[in-house]
Structure 1
Amino acid sequence: MCDCGNKPRSTLELLFNIIMTNQPTHSDWTHVLHAADALLQQCEAFVHELPDVVYTSESTVLPGGTVGKHMRHVVDHYHAIFAGVGTTQAVDYDNRLRDVPMENDRAHALKTLSKLRSTIVEMKHLGDASPIRVRVMVAGDGSCATLSTTIGRELAFATHHGVHHQAMMRAIAGEFGVDVSPTFGKAPSTINHELSTRR
């Protein structure tokens, strides 16, 4: 069994603790950074343990999808945010650069994930309220809106979004006989429900 959901601590446990604990020594921004790092650390463990053929094989349940494509999609959201920090350019998730080598090369993916984690550490000084703008496509005809937001809100979004793509990666890996921990790809609302009902 690929226990990447448990090494490091599962997203289930980590995000629940972030949501539920009241630690005055940790700011909201620190919680957001820890959640992002935990997600990327889980992704690293998952990619490290996955066979090459499973990383690149196309899903029959999610046509066109591969673990590598979903991993690249998760990473690209973080890259889009970081590209908008300290500039007047709006974060644009819809027209982000796509890191194609990462879709097919596990070593490249691991290197990219490691660099992202280092970038998150470097972001600590910014604070969650640092203002940025985000451009979003709101309709299939290409209509867009540009909105004011903060880096904290967008990093929290990218992490929550990443959890859902982890669930898809787990499903694809399962198609090819890889047994991934069920805690890999659990949403915060599910975490809250499951752990609160165990008491």
Structure 2
Amino acid sequence: MASTPILRPVLASNIALLSQKVALMDLLVRKGGRDKASEQFQTSCKYCGGATMGQHYRHSMDHIELAALVAGNANQLCARKKGELHYDLRVRGGTLEKDFDLSRQRILDVMATFEHISQAGEEICSLPVDAHFNLSANSGAEITFSSTIGRELGFVLHHAIHHLAMVRIICLNTIGIEECELPSGFGRAPSTILFDNAQKP
């Protein structure tokens, strides 16, 4: 039996999540103007350990952008030359956590990369990659997992949803956004939305 195609669905879901990020940024600009939106982007939230919206955007984008770049270069990969994803080699506290416009443009650029990848064949999802993580604070050594491009495109999406859940808390408790103003489904896992919908009479 043929396997269910995953490339276009997982790319569409990533693009939808990135669209939510952009929609929230545009909402902040509409409500308070560009300067205030930039300030809110950098405002610490005591309910999230002092983190900011910009920090959660930057961190989740680091993962998504990395997977997008590896998938975008899939034609250069083969069994003897795996893609490498070093998820914990990233720049913290840099411009992308603070520069509102640069952060927004980064999201749009990754969306364009996903649109380009969507023209590729389903076979790129099964191409092998190595995913590297720092899983212990007692050692700087990375742990390496054998994976595939398709699996990592799913992972970075799942990871980003949880960061948007934190952004949701920041918006509702620190920035002053009302629940009804947030993009539909913002910061909520698809499984949670499906469960809630199933409970409705």
TM-score range for the pair, normalised by the shorter chain length: 0.7 to 0.9
Deviation at 1:79, TM superposition (A): 2.1
Q: How far apart in 1 are the matches of 2:147 and 2:154? A: 12
**SS of alignment partner, residue 90 of structure 1:** strand
1:73 corresponding residue in structure 2: 59
Larger fraction in helix: 2
Give the letter aligned to residue 58 of structure 1.
Answer: S
Q: How far apart in 2 are the matches of 1:101 and 1:140? A: 26
Please list, as runs of the form range in 1=range in 2, the aligned pairs for 1:66-105 lying within 5 A after superposition. Answer: 66-85=52-71, 86=76, 88=82, 90-97=84-91, 100-105=94-99
2:32 corresponding residue in structure 1: none
TM-score scaled by length of structure 1 = 0.79
Asked if 2 retains the 8 angstrom alpha-carbon contact of 1:76 and 1:98, the reply is no
Percent identity at matched positions? 28
Unpaired runs of 5+ residues, structure 2, are 29-36
2:200 corresponding residue in structure 1: 198
Q: How far apart in 2 are the matches of 1:104 and 1:45? A: 18
Give the letter aligned to residue 149 of structure 2.
Answer: I
2:14 corresponding residue in structure 1: 36
Deviation at 1:162, TM superposition (A): 0.8
2:24 corresponding residue in structure 1: 46
Aligned-residue CA RMSD in angstroms?
Answer: 2.2
Give the letter aligned to residue 178 of structure 1.
Answer: I
One of 123, 134, 138 as aligned partner of 1:137? 134
Change (3 A) 1:89 1:96: farther
Count matched residues.
Answer: 175
How big is each residue's C-alpha offset from its partner over 1:33-83, in whole Å with a ceiling of 9 and x where there is no partner?
110000001101111222222111111112230001100111100122234
